Amino acid sequence: MKSKKTNWLFLTIILVHIAVVFLIYMGRDKIEFGMITNCLVSEGIIIGPSILFLLPMKERFNEALGFRKIKISTIFMIILFTVLIMPLVTVLNALSMFFADNAVASMQGDILDVSFPVMWLLIGVYGPFCEEFVFRGILYRGYKTTGRMLGAVLLSSLAFGLMHMNFNQAIYAFGIGIFLSMLVEVTGSLWSSAFCHMIFNSFSVCMMYFSDWMMNTFFGGALADAQAEISNEELMAAMSIYLMIAAVTTPIAVCVLAWMAKNEGRVEHVRSFRMQRKEQGEYLISIPFIIAAVLCLGFMSLEFIL
């Protein structure tokens, strides 16, 4: 899929998202969406249009998106890699919380009302697979056709961040998107980014339920009751600690990426990035992407104001 068509897909996803939100808002008095339905619909918004865009392609989905086998040793290194990038993601999350509410924390009450296995499948498995299918499988590979490798990483990650439609998640999702794109390149497989994403989300879900259990067992209160307003001073202190940890773990994560590239026999492929040449007439950013980005920023700004 060429970059221009890729941008049209991104615009379609954003338009569908806004349309669905509008319809839900208009029918809020008649229809009440639970957390399960919310998760299914939110991921369906991105996976549905993407499949329709892929249907005309002659290649099979697994070949077109890069679902290739990876070594078992690489899988263990992906687990390590995920743990190593968590401090940096936490820093980005804390940074966004200086001016935006924590989007996930605001949904904790609704999430905890649903059983753990169900939410783990939806948030920890289903969501990451759908998002990797679209953003690293279709968008990133589409942008790569221009030969602008760094631009493809940054633009697909930006689209991934904007898709979350709130400033809090947009910032750290952009950072995660960069790491996930790099993971796809060093392993040559979309399974690697999907697995990393699943580990990350599953850890968040597990911690949410574990914290709630701790609060109920030892402090006699629900987790939601403990979510007091965090002062900027406390936020700055927490961010400073995680920043120091990230300063150590992030370079190690990059070394792990290099090890995976060697383990999967893709060192020369990664080195060839700088030798890539731009295809004449192919641009990463086109009008559809600009329109989509403006709509996303407008939606997020409106939500922030309200």
Q: Band of the pLDDT at 276, cuts 50, 70, 90?
A: low
pLDDT for position 104:
80
pLDDT for position 283:
80
Side-chain-facing half-sphere of 246: CA atoms under 13 Å: 17
What would the pLDDT profile of 165-201 be if each residue is shown by its tens digit? 999 999 999 999 999 999 999 999 999 999 999 999 9
Q: Domains in the chain: how many in total?
A: 1
Q: Are 250 and 112 in contact (CB under 8 A)?
A: no
**55 three-class SS:** coil
Q: 205: which residues sit within 8 A by CB, 6+ positions away?
A: 111, 116, 119, 120, 123, 124
Q: Band of the pLDDT at 233, cuts 50, 70, 90?
A: confident
Integer-rounded Cα radius of gyration of the chain:
20
- The tokens for 156 are 């697909």
* Closest to 202 (Cα-Cα) out of 102, 118, 135, 121: 121
The answer to whether residue 61 scores a pLDDT higher than 70 is no
- The tokens for 180 are 């996930």
Kindly report the pTM of this predicted structure: 0.91
The answer to whether residue 223 scores a pLDDT higher than 80 is no
Domain around 30? 3-305
CA dist., res. 81 & res. 183, Å (int): 9
Q: Band of the pLDDT at 281, cuts 50, 70, 90?
A: low
